[in-house]
């Protein structure tokens, strides 16, 4: 079954994320801990492994050496924390990716959601919650920017009170998320500058931005002060990040480290191989520069 994050988030909102069947994990011994360099804080996006119950996935992630499982809702945070993991990027609203801060009719709902869940995130010891621009739906770039700023301003007052960073994800509108408005780094940077808040940053998704604009390493270096989080994924296809795809992830990770980045890098590729956990371990190893 083909799955994407939008479908996974809808499943989460429906409260059925825990109903997936337990897969056979036949190669557990291959997941024994191996020393990591600790220059990258490793995380993983749960939706890419949604066929594995979260409790089992947390155990495996811990064995691999991950510090976080992310893109989880409030009812899931305690499950991974029992295994010594954090949620490096949390959901605070169930509206999804296509409906976001560029739509003024959603500002009241979004403020309510974030005002409710930001304090919960702080109580859980979390540091970041994700947000989305939403689809343009005919809005021009400047109007979308203005609407996002207006909707985010009261949310960021709550975030500042609780020392939480709200991060807007950059997504491609070419292949996966048609009409998504925050689809170029420069647009996101304009929003950061307009808001002028240390509690707002960009989630730079390497997969998405390779598709939209390329020039990944130069962009990371240029806009390092605006980027608070990273996601991975193989291009093309969003599968394993090894030699089967075009990006040089070790070079990208070295560039990230050189910027002084101390946040998290999350694996967000969809494994093609039957042993999904082995693919995850490989991805972490590739990024552990």
Q: What is the pLDDT of residues 193-244, one digit of tens each?
A: 999 999 999 999 999 999 999 999 999 999 999 999 999 999 999 999 999 9
In terms of Cα–Cα distance, which of 228, 241, 243 is closest to 268? 241
Give CA–CA dist 270/140, Å, rounded.
32
How big, in percent rounded to 5, are the helix, strand and coil portions of the chain? 45, 15, 40
- Mean pLDDT, the chain, integer: 92
* Contact partners, residue 214, CB within 8 Å, separation at least 6: none
Report phi then psi at 167, rounded to 5: -125, 125
Q: Confidence class of residue 28 from pLDDT cuts 50, 70 and 90?
A: very low
Q: What is the rounded distance in angstroms from the CA atom of residue 274 to the CA atom of residue 220?
A: 33
Please report which confidence band the pLDDT of residue 30 belongs to, taking 50, 70 and 90 as the band edges.
very low
Question: What pTM value is reported for the model?
Answer: 0.90
pLDDT for residue 19 is more than 90: no
Under CATH, which number does the domain 35-287 receive? 3.20.20.150
Spell out the residues 6+ positions from residue 243 whose beta carbon is closer than 8 angstroms to its own: none
What residue segments make up the domains of the chain, in order of their start?
Answer: 35-287
Name 87's bridge partners. none
Say what the pLDDT of residue 7 is.
63
Residue whose tokens read 């991950």: 66
Q: What is the pLDDT of residue 38?
A: 86
Cα distances (angstroms) measured from residue 262 to each of 81, 84, 160, 198: 21, 19, 20, 15
Which pLDDT band holds residue 22 (cuts at 50, 70, 90)? very low
Question: What are the tokens at 9?
Answer: 């988030």
C-alpha to C-alpha distance for 1 and 82, rounded to whole angstroms: 30
Q: Is the pLDDT of residue 40 over 70?
A: yes
163: number of Cβ within 10 Å: 11
pLDDT of residue 35: 76
pLDDT average, residue stretch 55-74 = 98
């Amino acid at each position: 079954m083909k799955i994407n994050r939008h479908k996974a988030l809808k499943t989460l909102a429906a409260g059925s994320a825990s109903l997936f069947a337990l897969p056979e994990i036949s190669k557990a011994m291959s997941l024994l801990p191996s020393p990591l360099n600790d220059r990258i804080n490793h995380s993983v996006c749960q939706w890419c492994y949604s066929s594995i119950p979260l409790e089992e996935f947390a155990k495996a992630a811990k064995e691999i050496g991950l510090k976080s499982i992310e893109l989880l809702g409030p009812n899931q945070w305690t499950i991974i924390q029992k295994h010594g993991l954090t949620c490096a990027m949390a959901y605070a609203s169930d509206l999804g990716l296509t409906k976001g801060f560029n739509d003024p009719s959603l500002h009241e709902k979004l403020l309510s959601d974030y005002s409710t869940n930001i304090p919960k995130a702080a109580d859980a010891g979390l540091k970041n919650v994700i947000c989305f621009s939403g689809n343009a739906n005919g809005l021009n770039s400047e109007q979308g920017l203005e609407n996002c700023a207006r909707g985010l301003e009261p949310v960021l007052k709550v975030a500042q009170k609780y020392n939480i960073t709200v991060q807007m994800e950059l997504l491609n509108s070419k292949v996966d998320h048609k009409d998504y408005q925050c689809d170029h780094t420069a647009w996101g940077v304009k929003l950061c500058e307009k808001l002028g808040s240390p509690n707002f940053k960009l989630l730079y998704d390497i997969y998405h931005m390779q598709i939209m604009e390329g020039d990944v390493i130069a962009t990371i270096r240029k806009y390092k002060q605006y980027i608070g989080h990273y996601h991975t994924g193989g291009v093309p296809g969003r599968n394993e990040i090894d030699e089967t795809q075009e990006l040089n992830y070790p070079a990208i990770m070295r560039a990230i480290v050189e910027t002084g980045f101390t946040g998290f890098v999350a694996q967000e590729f969809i494994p093609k191989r039957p042993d999904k956990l082995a693919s995850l371990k490989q991805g972490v190893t590739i990024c552990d520069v």
